[in-house]
Structure 1
Amino acid sequence: MFTFLYIEVVRSKITVETVVDSNLFQQAIIKCGSSHAYWAFDTNPTVYAKSLYSVLRNTTIMTSNSEMEDVFKNVSLIEFMTAVYRQYNMYPQIKPSRAVLQKGGLVKYLTESPENMIQKGNYRTVPMMSGVVKNDGALFTAFIYDWMEIRNLVSDDYFIRNNMTHRLFEYSGIQNTTNVLIDTFNNMYFKELFAMEKSITIADVAPGITDILGNILLKSPTLKQAKMTARYENQTYVYTLDYRGEHTRFGDGTYITKCPFDGGVHHSNDLLYLFPYPYTRPLNKQDTKIAKLLTDLWTSFAINGKPTSSLLNVEWPILKKIPYISQDLVNEEYKITSIESGLIGDDRKY
């Protein structure tokens, strides 16, 4: 089963849900996220529903859950999505796509969180290959830019130095009751910038924002899913793709014309070589080589549970070692690296 971002959340939940036929999904390929991501599961969806209702009806007076449901069912799609967009800009967090516990229905899909199900051993293991790309978080950096641009904060030196990281935490669902985490992250990602006397803009901090949001929202959950699977399943493989080709998906489905930064090796850029779309982006000679390699790896894994290719210099090692070790799978021109354990790289140098 091949999955991507929000669909991946469904896939990783399927592996922990025993109602799924055991003959299905003999191998799994995870792309960018898992059910361990904060945005993947909502333990209290009523809170978000009420917030969305207040925006939709422009009121702070709450009503019953059944009346809210009637409102949601009867508004037009345009009205509903406009409210989602407005709510998102007021309270920037990834919430609308979260899965919830199922309380009704004859056959229940999720009756408790994936974390609890795994701890109880109610978990299916299958050979798994997961991957991320170098600048995965640029997708969210563009969203943060939009939020800051609306509020005239993209060149606000005081906000960027003193309040921005707190907002990034809010966006990522991190509860920060003290400044310890903020100071730690600022020291890790913005130390040299914040030491400068010049005024700082969003363009200066964009690589650090990409690192923070990419690691918290996509890479760490992906790696956690892989490490969890590796505990019970030997055939677990992880890769990070740093190859930057001619084309990018930065901006696909998103308005990024005004962004004063590019997306680097952007979120889902590896899919350009596996599922090239739109077809108006023909691959050049070098990109065709990386397409051949990735196609070999994905298809061989789908067939026999082990990624192989005649283009590999070495055998792809399974995820098992601590501390972090990476190994180049092919020569420098491809820039694809296996991850055997630990954190997935520092993305700040595009």
Structure 2
Amino acid sequence: MDATAEKVGCPSVVSIESFKKLDDVLDIEDCLTLTITTPNITGRYPVLVYIHGEYLYEGSNSEAPPDYLLEKDIVLVAPQYRLGPFGFLSTKTGEIPGNAGVLDIYLALQFVKHFIKYFGGDESHVTVAGQVGGAAITHLLTISPMVQKGLFHQVIYHSGSALMPIFLEENPRKLAQDIAEMADCNLKTVRDLNECLMDLSPLELLTAFMTHALEKSDLGVGHTGGIQFTIGGPSGVLPYHPYELMLHANNSYPAMGGCPKNVGSRVLNEIVENDFEGMIPDDDYVAYDYINHVIRQVVGTDKTMLLTSFVTHDFFNRKLLENGTFDTLIPRLIDVGGTLMHKLPVLLALNMNNKHVPHSTFLYSFDYMGEYNRYRDLDEDTNMQSAFKAGVSLTDENIYLFPYPDHVTKLSPPDKTVAKRMVDLWTSFVTNGNPLSDFRAGYWPPMTSLYGPYMKIDDTLTVSGNYFKEFSATLTDEENGQSLLRESYYLRKNLANKRRRLNNNNLKNLTFESLKKSTLP
């Protein structure tokens, strides 16, 4: 078997058009492959298993090309796993138990354990890392009771953990039923539901999943199925809520994790583009509406209003709550979205880890604003119609670890310097459990408290003491004159409003003159 040719990614909403063309000529579900890159098959190098990210419904291992990291002596393994309904749909039955995508990674790690020595890797020196959904899977593997100790030895969380509400569901059957109904299934029993879902072709299931997601997306967390870990059920992966498992887990590992400074700009951009359809609803929304919308999209409906009360007290003042418009709320909305969705789940995971593995838990904030954002639609030259800039957005640190996607493969000289530093830090942790770099004297101190210390990664490396300050990083920058507000957007908007008012006045005057001529003698 020729294992050198790149294989297709697992079916996803992003690849649906491509798979429509391929469905007749290949089995599009035959995607459980992994890519191994090694300096030398006769060596015995530390291993980095990188789990690609996005939000459990898209992506592939093409996101982890080896070009930068393999400048150091490590083996890079990039597995694929089933996505969306193929990996995470669940009826909590033996037929469709859920968590299949997690079990794919579990199997990949077992493969690594037994066979990586034939590729120059050291099976006793394996680090698992991931981005967002991949980070959540990584964290889940550290607390799941079904994962035996010794399968891997260290972890890295990029902007995610298993504590993210967007990835958790205790009652997935109703969502599975909603998706099945989109595919015109005739449902009377759970058996009917299972049989219909399993009888659907891959494209039929993917289409029903996508239709359901588009219909429910503006309702927020908990309304879209096929993209979450199932809590409970027969899979055995997640018998209880992750936080409860963390309280009793014995399998803690040396860990590193963190987020970009303005990580919430991604979710706020998606709210504007998808939920608001590109139009800022200041005529219909007051400050509380914007706050509730962001909370709904990152943690779900706040039925008790306790979270909303906390957020409004800590992030907003009375003047903004009474008179705030979208442009005045932008930095705070970015911070609220980024903190609740990414920063707090990562911090909580590392905090609990630090209790069991003191002196070996490392926290960072990635603050470097380079030439590109990792997501092309957030880049300055492609996002001029947005009301705000992306800043240092979701997983921007990955630009300097992997030359992916294509638009970030040609780094400027300053960006190359940061890339070399990032590769130094990450591969140092993979190799010896300490993130060290030749670019800086001293070392990156491990966490010793609930909030630090942590490393701020920018043009220079700076140790800071209180990570809670990162919860309002975008607002702090705004107060220091570094605003993400796109003034040109509001200048154009104000000009358009003036023209519209002028045209309306001219129309009124014209109508009045016409009326006089037609009715007066």
Query: What is the aligned partner in structure 2 of residue 164 from structure 1?
Result: 290
Whole-angstrom distance in 2 between the partners of 1:158 and 1:187: 23
Query: What is the aligned partner in structure 2 of residue 67 from structure 1?
Result: 192
Aligned-residue offset at 1:97? 2.0
Contact 1:315 1:329 in 2 (8 A): no
- The reply on whether 1:9 has 2:136 as its aligned counterpart is yes
Query: What is the aligned partner in structure 1 of residue 369 from structure 2?
Result: 244
Q: Which amino acid aligns with 1:80?
A: A
- The reply on whether 1:274 has 2:404 as its aligned counterpart is no
Whole-angstrom distance in 2 between the partners of 1:230 and 1:328: 16
Aligned-residue offset at 1:128? 0.4
Query: What is the aligned partner in structure 2 of residue 314 from structure 1?
Result: 442
Whole-angstrom distance in 2 between the partners of 1:124 and 1:325: 22
Query: What is the aligned partner in structure 2 of residue 98 from structure 1?
Result: 228
Contact 2:163 2:345 in 1 (8 A): yes
Query: What is the aligned partner in structure 2 of residue 191 from structure 1?
Result: 317
Query: What is the aligned partner in structure 2 of residue 290 from structure 1?
Result: 418
TM-score (norm 2): 0.58
Deviation track 1:73-93 (CA, whole Å, cap 9, x = no partner) reads: 415155224314323334232
Give the direction of change, closer, same or farther, for the CA distance of 1:277–1:194 in structure 2 (3 Å limit): same
Q: Which stretch has the larger CA shift, 286-295 or 160-169? A: 160-169
Q: Which stretch has the larger CA shift, 242-251 or 217-226? A: 242-251
State the secondary structure of the residue aligned to 2:362. strand
Give the direction of change, closer, same or farther, for the CA distance of 1:16–1:88 in structure 2 (3 Å limit): same
Which of 239, 260, 275 pairs up with 1:133? Answer: 260
Aligned-residue offset at 1:344? 3.2
Higher relative helix content: 2
Aligned-residue offset at 1:288? 1.1
Give the direction of change, closer, same or farther, for the CA distance of 1:302–1:42 in structure 2 (3 Å limit): same
Whole-angstrom distance in 1 between the partners of 2:305 and 2:238: 36
Aligned-residue offset at 1:328? 5.9
Q: Which stretch has the larger CA shift, 23-32 or 182-191? A: 182-191
Give the direction of change, closer, same or farther, for the CA distance of 1:53–1:311 in structure 2 (3 Å limit): same
Whole-angstrom distance in 2 between the partners of 1:212 and 1:295: 30
Contact 2:350 2:361 in 1 (8 A): yes
Aligned-residue offset at 1:25? 1.6
**Where do 1:1-350 residues align within 5 Å?**
1-55=128-182, 57=184, 63-73=188-198, 74=200, 76-93=204-221, 95=224, 96-101=226-231, 103-104=233-234, 108-119=236-247, 121-150=248-277, 154-177=280-303, 181-191=307-317, 194=320, 200-201=325-326, 203-234=327-358, 235-251=360-376, 258-281=385-408, 282-321=410-449, 324=451, 326=453, 333-334=459-460, 337=463, 342=468, 344-348=470-474, 349=477, 350=484
Deviation track 1:188-219 (CA, whole Å, cap 9, x = no partner) reads: 4343872786x823x44332221111100111
Q: Which amino acid aligns with 2:325?
A: I
Contact 1:229 1:236 in 2 (8 A): yes
Give the direction of change, closer, same or farther, for the CA distance of 1:40–1:86 in structure 2 (3 Å limit): closer
The unaligned stretches of length 5 or more in structure 2 are 1-127, 478-483, 485-521
Whole-angstrom distance in 2 between the partners of 1:291 and 1:126: 26
Give the direction of change, closer, same or farther, for the CA distance of 1:47–1:337 in structure 2 (3 Å limit): farther
Aligned-residue offset at 1:159? 0.9
Give the direction of change, closer, same or farther, for the CA distance of 1:188–1:334 in structure 2 (3 Å limit): same
Q: Which amino acid aligns with 1:306?
A: N
RMSD: 3.2
Q: Which amino acid aligns with 2:215?
A: Q
Q: Which amino acid aligns with 1:93?
A: V
Whole-angstrom distance in 2 between the partners of 1:140 and 1:214: 8
Aligned-residue offset at 1:35? 1.0
Give the direction of change, closer, same or farther, for the CA distance of 1:124–1:6 in structure 2 (3 Å limit): same
Deviation track 1:135-157 (CA, whole Å, cap 9, x = no partner) reads: 1111211221124423x861324
State the secondary structure of the residue aligned to 2:230. coil
Q: Which amino acid aligns with 1:346?
A: S
Give the direction of change, closer, same or farther, for the CA distance of 1:210–1:67 in structure 2 (3 Å limit): farther
Q: Which stretch has the larger CA shift, 336-345 or 64-73? A: 336-345
Contact 1:220 1:343 in 2 (8 A): no
Aligned-residue offset at 1:7? 1.2
Whole-angstrom distance in 1 between the partners of 2:197 and 2:365: 40
State the secondary structure of the residue aligned to 2:396. coil
How many corresponding residue pairs? 340
Contact 2:445 2:453 in 1 (8 A): no
Q: Which stretch has the larger CA shift, 21-30 or 135-144? A: 21-30
Deviation track 1:299-321 (CA, whole Å, cap 9, x = no partner) reads: 01001111111212432111113
Aligned-residue offset at 1:114? 2.5
Deviation track 1:280-311 (CA, whole Å, cap 9, x = no partner) reads: 53111111111111111100100111111121
Contact 1:55 1:87 in 2 (8 A): no
Contact 2:257 2:362 in 1 (8 A): yes
Aligned-residue offset at 1:335? 5.7
The unaligned stretches of length 5 or more in structure 1 are none
For the pair shown, the structure with the greater C-alpha radius of gyration is: 2
